[in-house]
Amino acid sequence: MLEIKDLVVSYGGVPALFGVSINVNDGEVVSVVGSNGAGKSTLLKAISGLMKPEGGEVVLDGKSIHNLKAHEIVKQGIVMVPEGRHLFGQMSIVQNLMMGAYQVTDKKVNADRLEKVYSIFPRIKEREKQLAGTLSGGEQQMVAIARGLMSEPRILMLDEPSLGLAPIMVKEMFRMIKDIKQTGVTILLVEQRLKDALILSDRAYVLQTGKIVMEGKGEEFMNSPEVRQAYLGL
């Protein structure tokens, strides 16, 4: 469904991705793992239109979308939940969520979506009137993901959802991502926590200094001695 071919992205002349190619099929959870500075976030930013790629292609269902603007890409059904949550701290939770439904003006549709999102994250429903800035890190991450889901994306891209969360929250977060997967949303996950990400994923790519160095099925990765040694420290 989503195909990235030879993507080249650079920050003011300094290249961050050198010809990255990945593909994501309908209904899959695909992880891109790798260490700090490997280019994981850059990849997501380029797909979501926040950065313009210098070369290569992003193709969604046979249509090339890398020349579209960020808001047009959301309209195509790809939404990114940015790293570090980026909530609107001075707005309430429910207002934050409504910001995610920019493309829809139908009140009834929005109310339905809100219900759906709350059914995945019941914890944030109890506090819907609370200011987003006053939530705990885990709750903020839930709101950030829920806000992304409000646009009913076909592909949800999560950038380090476990960043800065307490270990018990991390577990819960991955369980919720699994729930989201079950609703039929395709997920592209970027993570540093390899083990949790691989357990959840159908397929995975390893990104190292701007290049894909390995790809395969989630379990294969877990069992591959090279990966275990090099990345998991097992």
Partner 1 sequence: MTDNNLIKKLWQRPSIIIVTLLFLFLLVVPKIVTGYYLHAVILIIMYATLGTAWNWIGGFAGQMSLGNAVYFGLGAYATACSQLWWGWNPWLGLLLGIVLSGIVAFLIGLPCFRLKGHYFAIATMAVGEIVNIIFTNWDAAGGASGLYLTITESSLLNFQFASKVPYFYIVLVLLVLATAITIWLKNSRSGYYFRAIKEDPEAAKALGINLVNRKLMAIILSGTVSSVAGSFWINYMLFIDPPSAFLIMTSVQIALIAVMGGMGTVWGPIVGASIIIPLSEGSRMFLGGTGSGIDLVIYGLLIMLVAIYQPGGIVGAVNNYTKKRQSKKKATLKAVQEVSE
Spell out, one character per residue from 98 to 137, where the chain touches partner 1: x when CB under 8 A holds, - when not: xxx-xx-x--------------------------------
Pick the closer one to partner 1 by CB: 56 or 148. 148
One residue of 66, 113, 147, 154 binding partner 1 per CB under 8 A: 147
CA 179 from centre of chain: 15
CB of 215 to partner 1, least distance (A): 26
Pick the closer one to partner 1 by CB: 70 or 213. 70
Cα–Cα distance measured from residue 232 to residue 228, given in angstroms and rounded to the nearest whole number: 5
Spell out, one character per residue from 77 to 96, where the chain touches partner 1: x when CB under 8 A holds, - when not: --xxxx---xxxxxx---x-
Contact at 8 Å (CB) between 190 and 159? yes
Considering only residues 150 to 169 of the shown chain, the ones binding partner 1 according to CB under 8 A are: 151
Pick the closer one to partner 1 by CB: 34 or 100. 100
CB of 159 to partner 1, least distance (A): 9
Q: Quick one: CA dihedral 191, 30, 39, 83, positive or negative? A: negative
Pick the closer one to partner 1 by CB: 37 or 89. 89
The amino acid sitting at 85 is: R
Beta strands in 25-139 (DSSP E): 29-33, 55-60, 63-64, 78-81
CA 220 from centre of chain: 22
CB of 80 to partner 1, least distance (A): 5
Pick the closer one to partner 1 by CB: 147 or 181. 147
Per-residue CA distances from 104 to 20, 87, 96, 111, 181 (Å): 33, 20, 15, 11, 23
CB of 95 to partner 1, least distance (A): 6
Considering only residues 26 to 55 of the shown chain, the ones binding partner 1 according to CB under 8 A are: 48, 50
Contact at 8 Å (CB) between 120 and 149? yes
Pick the closer one to partner 1 by CB: 103 or 182. 103
Q: Which residue has the tokens 């939770």?
A: 93
Question: CB burial class (10 A; 0-12, 13-18, 19+) of residue 167?
Answer: exposed
**Which residues contact partner 1 (rule: CB under 8 A)?**
48, 50, 69-71, 73-75, 79-82, 86-91, 95, 98-100, 102-103, 105, 147-148, 151
